[in-house]
Structure 1
Amino acid sequence: MTDLAKRQQGVLSARVSLTAIHMRFLTKFWRLLRYVFLWNLVRVRAIREIQRPWVAKLKRDGHCNVVIFLGPGMDVITGGVMSIVDLAGASRRCLAGADAFVCVCGVPWHPPLARYSKFGNDEVVHDILKIIRASSADATLLIHVPEIYVRLFSYWLALHPDLWHDRSLHVNVLLQNIDLIPNRSDVARLKKYASVSCTAAHTAYANADTGSLIDCEVSHLSVGVCAEKYQSRKRDAKERLILYSPDESENKEFVLRTLKEALPDYRFVEVRNMRYEEYLEGASRAFVSLTFGEGLDSYFVEPIFLGGIGCAVFNERFFTPNYKGLPFVYTSWQELMEKFVDDIRAIEKEHRYRAVHDRQFDRVDGDYSADIYLGRIRDFYAAHLPRRCPDSARSREPAAGGG
């Protein structure tokens, strides 16, 4: 290598290093700005004012059952957050007559938040410490904790032993994704302060094998996705649009590039930076919706209830065996790339489109219905919130933690 080449290489390396330093600095600076915004006193006080009436109501009414769902302290839209909000509302309905205060609270140590604003809902997000301290000293507490926050929550419990002394506390782990199952040791830490159960969002892992991994009972508590919630669109209202999920996948870039080249007459749109209502509008117009996530997720199920066709690669950790062989459920990404284009062309004929949709609809409608969903919620509370309240209290409707 000549001296000139060495000098040029040195200058290039210095520029790359300088760029990396600048990027690290900008990242840290952005995090600092974000922290200052989320915790500034004006914002925090405004949030506390929104929360205050509900905390006062809980303190005044003295409910004998308090049910808390933990969610992130960030205004985000994910399937997990929407599921938590829906479960809170459904729990409120199922606990009619149980004198229960049901609310959503931000995860401890997360920034304060008033509402999840990116999808339609009426829930106020509360400070868990304020809710617990406002509840009656003899109230039964039941706290639902998403699996990704089990470790953090277990440490938080240990820092507040005074809150749990002589109190009835039950913690339920919301296992929404088997790939995120908490460590057995973290669940054991919860058991020092509470009785513990686990509910699984998918039938595929709502079993004793999962229970043995974390050493606690596991039951099935699915998501509030059912045909009654959606306005289906007919085939002739569909566009040459293929909607796909924002999930990261090692196959995603190659799969999309291959499909786009083979289907130049179709638009491919990623579900990103959309409000939930925008996504539903797009899914109702989409010819096919493709998920790069778990497989049996909202990007697969909801488009079917909207009159479309869902597409996924079979994943035995989430799908049950009866989804094998369903149209547009492929055994691998390789099979998807080999067959997807021909399958799309085949369903361009209206009668074929309806036939595929009907098969998919019959399958998912059998697993996702309002009756099954609410029945499982009632069964859960019958097992884990059995406390009988005085007649005067039991006559009250369950209180909303927001509205």
Structure 2
Amino acid sequence: MRPSDLRKIAPNWASLWRNVNLIRNFDSGWYVENYPDAAGHRLSPLMHFIRYGIEEKRRPAAWFDTELYVPDPIIFVDDVPVNGVSNSYVGEIDEAYLGSLKKCEKLWLFFNVATTEVLSGGMLSINRFVDIAIESAIDRQNTVVAVSGVPVSREAVKYKLFEERLPMVHFDWITEYTNPVAVKLFVPEVFATEFFTNALEQDHYRRWLKSRPDLEIIILNQNNELMPHPQHINPLLNQITKFSKIATAHPRYCTQSLALKSGLPVKQLTPLLPVMEFRRSVDRQRIFMLSPDVFTDPLTGITSEDIIVELKKILPDFEFVIVNGLTLAEYLELASKAMFSLTFGEGMDGYFIEPILSGGVSFAVYNEVFFPEYFADAPTVRKDWRSLLSLIEDVADGYASNPDLYNNISNELRELIGKTYSREITKNNFNDLIDGMVDHPAGPRTRQVELFDNIRSYLESEKGFRFHGSPGKKVVVTPDGLLVEHLGAEFYSVLYEIYERRDYDLDLDDGKEYYLIDIGANVGMASLYLRNRYPNIKRIFAFEPLHKVAEIAKRNVLANSHHVPIVIKEIGLSDNYHKATLEYYEDWTTAFSTDDQTLDSFLKNSEQGARSEAKFAEVEVVPASVEIREIIAAASDLRLAMKCDTQGSEFAIFRSLDAEGLLQHFDAIVVESHFKSPDELIGILERNGFELVVRCDHEKNVVYTIKASRKQVRD
């Protein structure tokens, strides 16, 4: 499977839901074992199969031959065009309701998945939004709420696994028998590209949509990972209406950055949680409920199966139940009686939230995409799976045997959930959305965002890079076999600079051994690359002052074991000692500098829409000469090499090293000069006997790459 194939398939993957027979026969364990790329993917094995596997004719199970079952091109035998009159399910719907639809002037039309074989949190969430919409429509004259199905090629269905709030009416019937003046379409993100492609290709859909005097499209962004790319969806939306927006389920990605990147306004629409049967500790059973998600952590290799094995050792007297094949009622009953719950999925999902609402205790690994920040310190949440297993081992027996402690922990978790979720919050969000309010206005998709996307696409399709993960934990597999966690955005430019332009390649003497000093290490990408490239580098000292990024660098070093050690030092270098609280952007940490003034100059010239929101961190800065002198002492007879990319701090660093005469210990240096003339750096390096190659990389921001090598090395 080529990364370029994944990108081509992704915009249309929702159409693969049509073939329920393949999904019904899916064996997740067999699929992961036989298709290793699915094991470490951000999607569950079933979703991976739906999104990629069917198109590539992978088998869902050992005995099922997809090659024979799915012809090429894919034609689904049950994709028969549905006439609104002949749709048997419409005949079962109350005539009074159909009559109100025919006469309505304002229509709020929700689209949900037209299948009876699959139950997902997204489907339940849309069903609950319908409930809120019905309540809100009461106060609005001649407004009717309706539900239709996607893909539109399937018949309308009556759900078997949960109770629908309204019957599903096929879009064919809607377009044939209704004539509302004002329409709001609520379309789930995963089906948006296919739905609007069909809407433009089918004459009766296109005519109906374009003849509405007041038409607004609301894309339900329930999972930001499944949002269609703006290049795919925006041209479709623009052909239908000028009024479109995104409604986000999670506040963590309801941001101005999303609005600018997507070119659409963004409004928070908090999911409505179910009403749970409340049970205290004494009324619960020694059951540990587990979400059905299957995963492999790409950095540590730990799997959901490994975790279950460990849990059974920790709590041998507990029954472990994986949620699978249950109706909604059966699942809610299980969630209400289980002593504990653990989610392997998003984290802040139903498997975590709903047991807590019923008075239970849930465990999860924190991620920054779905959890609000205040959950990072929640009593049953940890930042990695090993830490979470240790926590469960330490506290589970105590919670289970002490009802007061158990109930107090549950109350604390429930209070945290109440900060984000309540019926009142959802209703207010929905009414604001209907009334045209947005949290973040739209803006043009910036050139910088387009550049990052283009670089990633190029690296993926032409250079053999493989990108995985979620917004909270992105991972790249490089052509030289490195597995590197990163923060996206500007990082793609760094990959291009390292692997394509070879900016950090050094002029080393093959007959000598070196210690490498990496100043401005970020997530450790350059250190890892240079260690692979130069076997005569015997030790690397990498300096990264930003704690969050230094922690990622440490994980990357652990994930890429090697006999040459990389020492991550969580400090910044300059020409003096000081501590400072500095501004940074998580998806632009490569632009972080201990010299805040020079960084401000750069940020003013950059495009705000390409960055996440600003954060602040306290960093420690020490004189470069102090740290380098210690490394020189440790190196003994070895020579030194340096890579320095510090977004403006390089001038103070090189002044410090020059003043102490330490540059004489270096054979090769590559340094980026930022935001002002590089003449001072050039003078220092030439004065210390280096030959230089200087290149201007960015005229507006005054960025230069300077490569320095000893004359005797070349001789």
Length-normalised TM-score, structure 2: 0.47
- RMSD after superposition: 2.7
Return the offset for 1:305.
Answer: 0.8
- Equivalent pair of 2:222/2:248 in contact (CA under 8 Å): yes
Distance 1:48 1:371, change over 3 A: closer
Q: Distance in 2 between matches of 1:20 and 1:27?
A: 14
- Equivalent pair of 1:239/1:285 in contact (CA under 8 Å): yes
Q: Distance in 1 between matches of 2:64 and 2:157?
A: 34
**1:242 lines up with 2:288 in the alignment:** yes
Higher percent of residues as strand:
2
Q: Could you tell me the percent identity over the aligned residues? A: 24
**1:213 lines up with 2:261 in the alignment:** yes
Q: 1:106 aligns with which of 149, 152, 175?
A: 149
1:125 counterpart residue number: 168
SS in 2 for 1:355: helix
Q: 1:382 aligns with which of 425, 429, 435?
A: 435
Return the offset for 1:45.
Answer: 4.3
Return the offset for 1:78.
Answer: 1.1
**1:164 lines up with 2:206 in the alignment:** no
Q: 1:350 aligns with which of 403, 427, 431?
A: 403
Gaps of 5+ in 2: 1-60, 297-302, 438-715
SS in 2 for 1:124: coil
Distance 1:304 1:215, change over 3 A: same
Q: Distance in 1 between matches of 2:168 and 2:334?
A: 28
Q: Distance in 2 between matches of 1:335 and 1:169?
A: 50
**1:23 lines up with 2:65 in the alignment:** yes
Q: Distance in 1 between matches of 2:176 and 2:319?
A: 53
Q: Deviations over 1:42-86 (max 9, x none)?
A: xx64323124836741465x2111111111111132111111111
Distance 1:22 1:132, change over 3 A: closer
Distance 1:24 1:132, change over 3 A: closer
2:537 counterpart residue number: none
SS in 2 for 1:240: strand
Q: Distance in 2 between matches of 1:358 and 1:230?
A: 15
- Equivalent pair of 1:58/1:135 in contact (CA under 8 Å): no
Q: How does 1:298-337 map to 2 (within 5 A)?
A: 298-337=350-389
Return the offset for 1:269.
Answer: 0.3
Instruction: Say which structure, 1 or 2, has more relative contact order (CA 8 Å, 6+ apart).
Output: 1
Q: How does 1:189-200 map to 2 (within 5 A)?
A: 189-194=236-241, 195-200=243-248
Distance 1:132 1:305, change over 3 A: same
2:698 counterpart residue number: none
1:364 counterpart residue number: 417
Residue 70 of structure 1 aligns with an amino acid whose one-letter code is F
Return the offset for 1:367.
Answer: 1.6
- Equivalent pair of 2:81/2:153 in contact (CA under 8 Å): no
Q: Deviations over 1:368-387 (max 9, x none)?
A: 11111111111111117xxx
Q: Distance in 1 between matches of 2:268 and 2:101?
A: 33
Q: Distance in 2 between matches of 1:200 and 1:240?
A: 36
2:132 counterpart residue number: 90
Return the offset for 1:131.
Answer: 0.9
1:64 counterpart residue number: 105
SS in 2 for 1:223: coil
Mean alpha-carbon deviation: is it higher for 277-286 or for 254-263?
254-263
Higher percent of residues as helix:
1
2:564 counterpart residue number: none
Q: Deviations over 1:298-357 (max 9, x none)?
A: 111110110101111001011111001111111111211222121212212222212211
Q: How does 1:34-73 map to 2 (within 5 A)?
A: 35=77, 45-51=87-93, 53=95, 56-58=98-100, 60=102, 62-73=103-114
**1:184 lines up with 2:230 in the alignment:** yes
Matched residue count = 359
Q: Deviations over 1:101-159 (max 9, x none)?
A: 111101143421332221123421111121133222x5111100101011101202212
Q: Distance in 2 between matches of 1:274 and 1:90?
A: 25
**1:373 lines up with 2:426 in the alignment:** yes
SS in 2 for 1:125: coil
- Equivalent pair of 2:82/2:154 in contact (CA under 8 Å): no
SS in 2 for 1:347: helix
- Equivalent pair of 1:73/1:107 in contact (CA under 8 Å): yes
Gaps of 5+ in 1: 1-18, 385-403
Length-normalised TM-score, structure 1: 0.82
SS in 2 for 1:280: helix
1:204 counterpart residue number: 252
Q: Deviations over 1:165-222 (max 9, x none)?
A: 3422111000001111211023312122121100000111111112223110111101
SS in 1 for 2:184: strand
Distance 1:40 1:105, change over 3 A: closer
Distance 1:134 1:269, change over 3 A: same
Distance 1:320 1:21, change over 3 A: closer
2:190 counterpart residue number: 148
Mean alpha-carbon deviation: is it higher for 256-265 or for 312-321?
256-265
Distance 1:40 1:173, change over 3 A: closer
SS in 2 for 1:84: helix
Q: Deviations over 1:7-29 (max 9, x none)?
A: xxxxxxxxxxxx97963467559
Q: Distance in 2 between matches of 1:212 and 1:253?
A: 40
